Every structure is written in C-alpha cells, then in structure tokens.
C-alpha cells in the first residue's frame, strides 16, 4: 500500500545575457509492504516493511543566451532526504529449528540431537532505521563553438563537484524465550527457561566528495548532422543494506542460543539428578555441543559508491530532406566497485554488494522517419551490450564466519540484456467535418536477451520478442484506444532467482505477462 505526493515549483527569469531557472521540489512517500519472504507454501518467515520518506531539493541554474560562440551553463543543487524504515521479520518455529542444523549434523554420529521448543511462535525481530541523506553539488559546463575558427567544430567541457553525506541510525532485534530437548544414548535432557536477546543499536555515517568531469568534441555538418566523441566520469551513490540486519540478528541469536544450550547442559548435568553419571561422560556430552562464534557487524551493511569512466563516439544524421533520421553510437565503460544485487546467504532479502571491476562495450543504432505529412511514422532500433566482470571482488553477503571464495572473472553481469530490439509503425488519419477527428492504428515489437540472472551465469533468459498492436478513434475530447500486447503469447521470464531461504535451494521465476487485451479511454479538456 503506497501513497505518494510529488510537488514542484519552477521559476525562470530571462535577462539580456543569461537565463536563471529555479526548480524547488518536495516528495512524500508512505509505503507498507508485507511479503511472504520464503516464497513457498511452507510457513518459514515473512516481512513487513514500512517506509516514510520526506525529500526536499532545490536547483538553481544559470545559462547563457543561445547563438553565442561561448555557451555556458552553471548552477548549484541541494537535496535532503529523511527516510525512516521499520521492517519486522517473523521467524516461525519451523525456520528457527534450522538453527540447530549444523549442530545436529556434528553430534548425530554420537546418537545425539537437539530439538527446539518455542512456546511463542513466531519469533519477531523488530526495530527502526533512520537514513538521512544530504547532497550538495556545484556544476559548470562550457561549449566553445567554431573552435580554432573551424565552423561547426565545438568543444564541450564540464565539471560537477558533489558532496554526499549519509547516516544510518539503527535499533533492531528481539528477545526469544525457548526450551531445548537434548537426546543422547545416556538419557534425554530437557532444558527449560532459556532466553536470549539479540539487538543492534548504534549509528554509522559516511561522506564522499566526487569530481565528475566531462569532455566532448563534436562537429556539425549542418543543423541536423553531426559526429561526436566524448569522455566522462560517472558515479552512483553508496548506501546501507538495512535488510541485512535480520541476517545479523539471526546469526547473533544462533551463536547466543548455542552458547546458552552448552552452558545450560553443563549446569543441568552438574545437578543431583545426574550424580550417578561419570564426570568423563558429562564432559563428553558438553564438549560435543558445538559452539559457533558470530563475527557479523553492522559495518557489513554498507556498500560503496560505484564509479565509471565512459567513452562514446557517434553521430546524428538526416536523409531525404529530414524525413529519415539516423542515430548511431559505440561506447565503452570501465566500472569500479560495481554494485550488484544479490540474496544474502540466509535468503532473508536482497542486498547490494560491490564487485571489483566491470567492463561494458557495445553499440546502439536507431532509425526513425515520417511520411505522408507525418501521418505515417516509423522507428527501428537495435542495441548490443557486452557487459562482463573484469575482476570480481565482491564478498558473499553472509553473517556466518565461514565464507566461500568465488571468482567470476569474465562472467556476464546479471540483468543486462545482451541484445535489445524495438521497431514499430504508426498511422493516424485526420478527418475533416466529422464527429471523429481522426482514426489511428499501429503495430510494434520489442525484444531483449540473453539476460543472465546471477553472477555465476548458471541461468539465463534467451532472446525473446513481443508483438503488440493497437487501433482507435479520436473524438477530440475523448480518445479511445483498443490494444493487444504479446499477441503471439510468448513465454518468457521477467525475473529469476535461486533462494537458500529454506533447507532446499529452490528456484523461482516470475513469468512475463501473457497475451493481453485492453481499452484505454483518455479525456482532454
């Protein structure tokens, strides 16, 4: 359930030599999402996430008047966002019993076993996170036309200096009351009245200063024909994975529970009821209960900013007296600390982590045109992207002490389509002296693939294409559009992932929308 308010105030002042623009914006978002997070019919755990965002921003831009040899744009930008998140996670008895899976695997050869008893189920880890963010920037770009006296040759140079500060205030966790039955060849032990509390309270903060330059050289043959080369540095903000706190609490609680079980077992065996048991046997039973130390910290929730160096060359061309336009470009990107979305080891949510370095290169080409006085318009575009890891340095998003080493050098970056395709034809015929102002129809297709779903490239969506069409009437104040999408009923996955949230590694796919029909009615006043 989401409520969203966006509002902005735009103002502009035009002087003889410059134009001053101001954009003031405010956003308020209230979001309430409940998710059956194990995605199975079993009752393992669920999440309720509530978010409240208040965001304010102001941008002042000065730019020179057009048609000058030196054109310039400059300004300042300020933004403050207050984000509060509440995300209670409910863990059922069935799931919490997995706390003893590793311990039971270690002690089962001795005929021993641990079984959890939860008088109150589910166990709820709850709390709140405040994530305020401040962003300040100053920017300038200059365009020098007719460079070195060569008509049509331009140099573009720009710089954006950005300061970003973010903080995470966290208070998250919960208390669990439980009992444990320890079975052994000697006799069962019933451990009652156990209680452990796992809670993380504190604050983290980071800030960054970014220098983002841009340089481009372009040559205009005419008003609609030009070629260009450009270089720029890109930046994507870092942040905190608040979803990881449920994993931290689970790992910390598991360690505390195993320590409590071990201590309670030793205390119970020292009681008068077990005076007949040899001391060596008591020590053997206590010793066989494994103890795992938890090393996870809230600092692990942070992910770093992503940087990219972007190289591009291309051009815009016009043919047949402007009836056909061609856009073409080739690009190369070096990406550092690449941000990758993945599941945490427990399956309790997705997080953002940093891979070491990535590389993307490819080409894009597009054609568009209009005939019959633009009553008939058409477009076609194709893109190819080769995006791979050059050096994978991401750590597994786990809170366990043991981590499996991975090396995905040369693998394709997930969620990046290798091929994209789009083409379509639209026709609209105006009608004179008629209640119907015009009729229109069109057909188009879109395609994408391969799309890899994870860093190991174990699963992918092959290339697929969708066929769509529509037709309708325009009455002036009312416009009716009848449409059909995916007319060939193509079967494809819109999303896919593997979850370790349960004892089984289950694979989940969200199918794309099948054949659909609908009607849009638009009112114009």
Residue 480 has which token pair?
């009716």
What mean pLDDT comes out for the span 196-209? Answer: 94
Q: Read off the tokens for 505.
A: 């590694």
Going by pLDDT thresholds of 50, 70 and 90, the confidence category of residue 50 is: very high
How many domains does the chain fold into?
1
Q: What is the CATH number of the domain that holds 496?
A: 2.40.170.20
143 found inside a domain: no
Angle at 364 between CA 362 and CA 368, to 5 degrees: 175
pLDDT of 1-47, one tens digit each? 999 999 999 999 999 889 999 999 999 999 999 988 777 777 777 88
322-366 confidence digits (pLDDT tens): 889 999 999 999 999 999 888 776 666 678 888 889 999 999 999
Provide the residue range defining the domain that includes 407.
307-525
Nearest Cα neighbor of 133 from 170, 203, 79, 210 is: 79
Residues written for the chain: 525
Give pLDDT, residue 345.
Answer: 63
- For residue 50, the number of C-alpha atoms closer than 13 Å in the C-beta half-sphere is 5
Backbone region of residue 62 per phi and psi (left: phi > 0; alpha: psi in -120 to 50; beta: other values)? beta
Tell me the pTM.
0.83
Q: Would 136 be classed as within a structural domain? A: no
Mean pLDDT score, 120-144: 93
Per-residue pLDDT reduced to its tens digit, 447-470: 999 999 988 899 999 999 999 999
Please tell me the distance from the alpha carbon of residue 178 to that of residue 174, in angstroms, as a whole number: 13
Specify if 410 maps to a domain: yes
| In-domain check, residue 491 | yes
User: 10-14, 23-27, 180-184, 387-391 — which is least confidently predicted?
Assistant: 180-184
Tokens 């069935």 -> residue: 94
Residue 79 scores a pLDDT above 50: yes
94 domain-assigned: no
Is 289 within a domain?
Answer: no
225 within some domain: no
What stretches of 157-310 show up as alpha helix (H) in DSSP?
244-269, 279-288
Q: Is 238 domain-assigned?
A: no
For residue 206, pLDDT beyond 90: yes
Least confident of 178-187, 190-199, 474-483: 178-187
- Which of 243-257, 343-357, 472-486 shows the lowest per-residue confidence on average (mean pLDDT)? 343-357
pLDDT value of residue 399: 40
User: Is the per-residue pLDDT at 193 higher than 50?
Assistant: yes
CA 128, CA 122: separation in Å to the nearest integer?
19
Give the Å distances, CA to CA, from 436 to 296, 432, 443, 476, 483: 68, 8, 22, 7, 19
E-only strand ranges, 372-437:
376-391, 419-430
């Amino acid at each position: 359930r989401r409520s969203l308010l966006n509002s902005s105030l735009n103002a502009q002042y035009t002087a003889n030599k410059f134009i001053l623009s101001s954009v003031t914006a405010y956003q308020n978002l209230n979001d309430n999402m409940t998710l059956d997070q194990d995605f199975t019919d079993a009752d393992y755990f669920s999440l309720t996430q509530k978010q409240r965002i208040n965001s304010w921003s102001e941008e002042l831009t000065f730019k020179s008047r057009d048609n000058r040899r030196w054109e310039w744009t400059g300004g300042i930008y300020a933004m403050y966002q207050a984000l509060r998140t509440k995300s209670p996670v409910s863990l059922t008895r069935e799931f919490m019993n997995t706390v003893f899976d590793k311990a039971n695997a270690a002690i089962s050869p001795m005929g021993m076993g641990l079984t959890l008893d939860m008088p109150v189920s589910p166990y709820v880890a709850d709390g709140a996170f405040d994530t305020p963010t401040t962003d300040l920037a100053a920017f300038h770009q200059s365009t020098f036309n007719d460079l070195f006296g060569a008509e049509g040759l331009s140099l573009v140079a720009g710089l954006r200096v950005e300061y970003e500060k973010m903080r995470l205030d966290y208070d998250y966790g919960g208390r669990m009351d439980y009992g444990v039955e320890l079975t052994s060849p000697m006799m069962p032990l019933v451990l009652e009245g156990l209680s452990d509390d796992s809670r993380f309270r504190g604050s983290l903060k980071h800030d960054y200063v970014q220098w983002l330059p841009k340089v481009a050289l372009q040559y205009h043959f005419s008003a609609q024909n030009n070629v260009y080369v450009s270089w720029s540095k890109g930046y994507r903000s870092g942040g905190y994975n608040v979803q990881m706190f449920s994993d931290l609490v689970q790992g910390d609680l598991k360690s505390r529970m195993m320590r409590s079980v071990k201590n309670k077992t030793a205390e119970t065996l020292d009681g008068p009821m077990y005076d007949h048991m040899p001391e060596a046997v008591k020590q053997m039973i206590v010793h066989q209960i494994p103890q795992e130390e938890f090393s996870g910290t809230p600092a692990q929730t942070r992910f770093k900013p992503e940087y990219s160096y972007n190289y591009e060359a291309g051009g815009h061309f016009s043919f047949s007296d402007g009836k056909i336009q061609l856009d073409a470009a080739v690009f190369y990107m070096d990406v550092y600390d690449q941000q990758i979305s993945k599941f945490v080891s427990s399956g309790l949510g997705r997080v953002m982590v940093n891979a070491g370095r990535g590389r993307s290169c490819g080409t894009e080409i597009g054609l568009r045109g209009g005939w019959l006085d633009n009553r008939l318009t058409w477009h076609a575009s194709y893109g190819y992207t080769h995006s791979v890891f050059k050096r994978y340095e991401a750590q597994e998003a786990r809170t366990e002490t043991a981590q499996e080493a991975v090396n995905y050098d040369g693998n394709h970056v997930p969620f990046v389509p290798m091929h994209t395709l789009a083409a379509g034809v639209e026709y609209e015929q105006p009608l004179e002296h008629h209640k119907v102002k015009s009729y229109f129809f069109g057909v188009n297709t879109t395609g994408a693939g391969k799309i890899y779903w994870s860093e190991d490239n174990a699963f992918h969506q092959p290339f697929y294409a969708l066929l769509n069409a529509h037709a309708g009437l325009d009455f002036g104040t009312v416009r009716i559009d009848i449409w059909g999408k995916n007319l060939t009923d193509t079967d494809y996955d819109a999303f896919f992932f593997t979850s370790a949230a349960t004892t089984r590694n289950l694979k989940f796919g969200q199918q794309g929308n099948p054949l659909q029909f609908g009607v849009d009615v638009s009112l114009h006043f």
